[in-house]
Amino acid sequence: MPIREKPLAHFINCYYGYGSWEAKIWFVGYEEGGGDLPEEVAEKVDYFFDTFQSAAEPTLADIRQVYRHVAFRAEGPKAGVYANRYEYRFGANAIKHGVWKNLILFHNGFKNEAVADVLDYQRDVFASPQQKREALIQLYPLPSPHNHAWYYSWLDMPEFPFLKSRLLYEQHVYPSRIKHLLENIHAYKPELVLMYGMNNINTLKQSVLDHFPDAGFKMIKAIKQQIPQHHVANLHGTRLIITTQIPALRHNRAETGFDWEAFGRSISL
């Protein structure tokens, strides 16, 4: 299945992630994982275009509906077990997502709530547009592998010259993405926005200050294996947290992890 130009342009301009803008907690990742298989990207892009092609503004999709339209492709013991990504993450035999698990725990800590079973919460509640508890947003729209490889340079689309490199792509989409994101923070006033895995902290902080001139950032130092270093600002009632850390182990090394539930509790104090 090829990636088509019109749906791709619409996806880049209008897709912002999953859930509801009315959610009280926004989790903003650098980008969604994936992107190494063009078929998977095409299925997401085409579903979004077919469902939201009349949208001309930042749009959040229903992750459970999107995943029903994305085939599960894997080798090894999981091959043939799941028909699509929905079954893999939300079905009866779903597998816990490592990053989502820690985001759920962060939410638990921040709200001082107990969740009986994280996997059940993932299946039924997490990033649901109906539940409106979390929004799962992407700073950059195109899925990309966690190793930051860039597979879009092979697309033969002369009208998208910025896809020839990751740097050109990020420079092209960042101004409008951060503008719309900050405008929506101002409009919807979520209780908390956590931006994680960010490698452009100074650029982000300047963008925030351009939009919210009276915001002041405070840097909180890390506590090893407990709280990651992060930057905090108050945006007219919305607490913004920016960190370079991702809610998962880096290279599967335990010493790179943090207690994300404790992190959430520290933010609520």
Pick the closest to residue 138 from 48, 229, 250, 254 (CA basis). Answer: 48
154-163 residue pLDDT tens: 898 999 999 9
Q: Kindly compute the dihedral angle of the four CA atoms of residues 63, 201, 234, 230, in this order, to the nearest 10 degrees.
A: 90
How far, in Å, CA of 43 to CA of 58, rounded? 19
Quote the mean pLDDT of the chain: 95
164-190 residue pLDDT tens: 999 999 999 999 999 999 999 999 999
What is the reported pTM?
0.96
Residue with tokens 């299945």: 1
Specify the DSSP element, H or E, that contains 234: strand 230-235
Find the mean pLDDT for residues 133-143: 98
Handedness of CA 148, 154, 155, 160 (dihedral sign): positive
Residue 269, CA atoms < 13 Å, CB-side half-sphere: 6
How far, in Å, CA of 47 to CA of 52, rounded? 8
Could you tell me if 25 and 126 are in contact, meaning their C-beta atoms sit under 8 angstroms apart? no
Q: Is the pLDDT of residue 91 over 80?
A: yes
209-218 residue pLDDT tens: 999 999 999 9
- Name all domains of the chain by residue range, CATH numbers in brackets: 17-36+96-268 (3.40.470)
For residue 94, what pLDDT band results from cuts at 50, 70 and 90?
very high
DSSP-derived pairing of the beta strands 192-195 and 59-61 = unpaired
DSSP-derived pairing of the beta strands 238-242 and 192-195 = parallel
230-249 residue pLDDT tens: 999 999 999 999 999 999 98
Q: And the tokens for 155?
A: 């697309």
How far, in Å, CA of 83 to CA of 181, rounded? 34
Q: Is the pLDDT of residue 256 over 90?
A: no
Residues 6+ apart with CB under 8 A from 15: 48, 59, 61, 138, 141
Q: State the alpha helices, DSSP H only, in 145-200.
A: 166-188
CB atoms within 10 A of CB 54: 6
